[in-house]
Each structure stands twice: as structure tokens, then as C-alpha cells.
Amino acid sequence: MSITISDLATVRSRTPEAIAEAAERRVRRPLIGESGRLMIVAADHPARGALSIGDRPMAMANRADLLRRLVLALSRPGVDGVLATADILEDLLLLGALENKVVMGSMNRGGLAGASFEADDRFTGYRAEDLDRMRFDAGKLLLRVDYDDPGSLTTLHSTARAVDEMAGRRLPVFVEPFLSRRDATGRLGNDLGPEAVTTAISIASGLGGTSAYTWLKVPVTADPEAMTRVMESSTLPAVLLGGDLDSDPDRVFDKWRHALRLPTVQGLVAGRSLLYPADDDVARAVDTAVGML
């Protein structure tokens, strides 16, 4: 049965079992395909209340528009898969957009953007057992460590247990680590300096009873030489965090190109920068990113 975006609410309300059935039928693929690289489109921002793109505070709020952009991105050659929360992944399942794709579930979204408890980033998304049941391929979690916020200890402990649970099911888990701190207004921000990123990677690499199934998802530092030193801090496989494109996207793409040559870097995970580019040409933005791989 062919399902369109306008049909989703009807299917969900009348035949919710269709989601599990679609997951059971889905054609899977290896995590790393023939290219030897990994290109993942990320769309787990809305579940943390992060809907803004540049100066547009509610850019990601229109779900039908987001789904159209995701379906287009997933259709482009060289795109391996998608990272999202259950609501979005289940929509994409019903739309048939996840066949032969890597499906990565977002695990902790409890640290809502701007909340006083943001550093206490609870696991309110996928559990290891959910990813296994749905026959998905990997999980992703965010680890922000604020030395001044006791909530970070809860996140560290929960992250370590999630690493164990994923490894017990032989499911890769992508850990996105940051050292974070609050500014004078109370806003939690990530330190993207080379020393901070190196420290965050070192902390993340040692979590859990095994690192056999742990991957890193890391930001690209401003200085290419510093990025080389940063990535020497762990032997774990890593993907780059795409982040937002600024007023000079070519400069950002140049940083990505350099980092993608480093030996532990296996690919790229990018979201808003590809789904909502400044010129609104999703296909072009995605193809440019794929071309760097």
C-alpha cells in the first residue's frame, strides 16, 4: 500500500500496528556500505525543542515540510541513512523511505534546549531494546559534561549503561561528547576548543564495560591542524558532526574535507545544514556533502 504524508495521521489512528509491520519488512543493509564511508542525515533536533535555523525560530516546526526534505535527502545517491527520534523514523518507515538505509535512533532527548535541567540529559528516546525490536541499525546519544552541574553525573552514568546495553545486543552506539558550561545568562553552550574536544573524546571513549561497539560523533574544530591532534586522542571510529553552516559555507566545507581525511574519521552526520541550506536547495547541499566522501 502506497502511503503519502497526508495519509500518516489516518494510518496511525486506525492501523498503528502498520509501524511494527513496516519495521519487520524493511530491507536492511550493513552499517558501512561499498563506499567504505558513512553519510547520515540527522533530524533529531525537534524532540529537544530545538526548532530554529539561523534567524528562523520555528523553521523545523512544520512536520510535513521536514518529512519532504528528509525523503528528498534520503533519495540522493550516496546518502546511507538517517538519525531521528521514534516519531520521525516511524513516519519515514510508513512512507517507505528507509529501505536499504542505515536507521539510527536518538536515545536521550531529555535535556531540553534552554531548560534548567538541560545538563541532566535523561534517556527519553530509544532504549537498546527498542532499537533491537524495531530492527534498527544503531543508536546515538548526546553527552554534555558541565563540571559545575551535578546533572552531568546522571548523564554520564546513564550513558555508560546505555553503552553496555547496546554492546550486549551488538548494536553500534554513536556518542556525541562535549564539555559544556553556562554563560552569564544561564545558557548552556559547548566548548569547541581543541583541548575541550580532546578531553570530551577521552571521557566518552572510556565509558561502559566495553568500547567494541562505540563510535564517536565529534565536532570539527576551527583549526585543521588542531583537528588532527584532537582525533589522535582515541582509536575509536568517528563521524563528523556537521553543525550549522555559517555565512561562508565554503569555509565550513573546507574544514569538513580536511577532517574527513583523518584516519579514524569514517564519515559525516549532518542535519540542519543539509536539510535547511541558505538557498533552500536540499539536493545540492546533500550532493556537496556526499561529494566530499
Q: Is the pLDDT confidence value at 133 over 90?
A: yes
pLDDT number for residue 35 = 87
The answer to whether the CB of 167 falls within 8 A of the CB of 213 is yes
Q: Is the pLDDT confidence value at 243 over 80?
A: no
The answer to whether the CB of 72 falls within 8 A of the CB of 282 is yes
State the pairing for strand pair 188-190/102-106.
Answer: unpaired
Q: How many helices (H) and strands (E) does the chain have?
A: 11, 9
DSSP 26: P
Instruction: Tell me the per-residue pLDDT of 12-25, one tens digit each, with 9 for 90 and over.
Output: 999 999 999 999 99
C-alpha cell at 9: 495521521
H or E stretch including 166?
A: helix 151-168
pLDDT number for residue 248 = 67
- Among 47, 66, 68, 63, CA closest to 121: 47
Q: Is the pLDDT confidence value at 222 over 60?
A: yes
Q: How far is it, in rounded angstroms, from Cα 18 to Cα 88?
A: 15
H or E stretch including 161?
A: helix 151-168
Of the CA atoms within 13 Å of residue 221, those in its CB half-sphere come to 19
Q: How far is it, in rounded angstroms, from Cα 171 to Cα 241?
A: 20
State in Å, rounded, how far the first CA of the chain is from the last one: 35
Give CA separation, 123 vs 15, 22, 102, 135, 291, in Å: 28, 25, 21, 19, 34
Q: How far is it, in rounded angstroms, from Cα 291 to Cα 254?
A: 12
Instruction: Tell me the per-residue pLDDT of 168-196, one tens digit each, with 9 for 90 and over.
Output: 999 999 999 999 999 999 999 999 999 99
Domain 5-292 is classified in which CATH homologous superfamily? Aldolase class I (3.20.20.70)
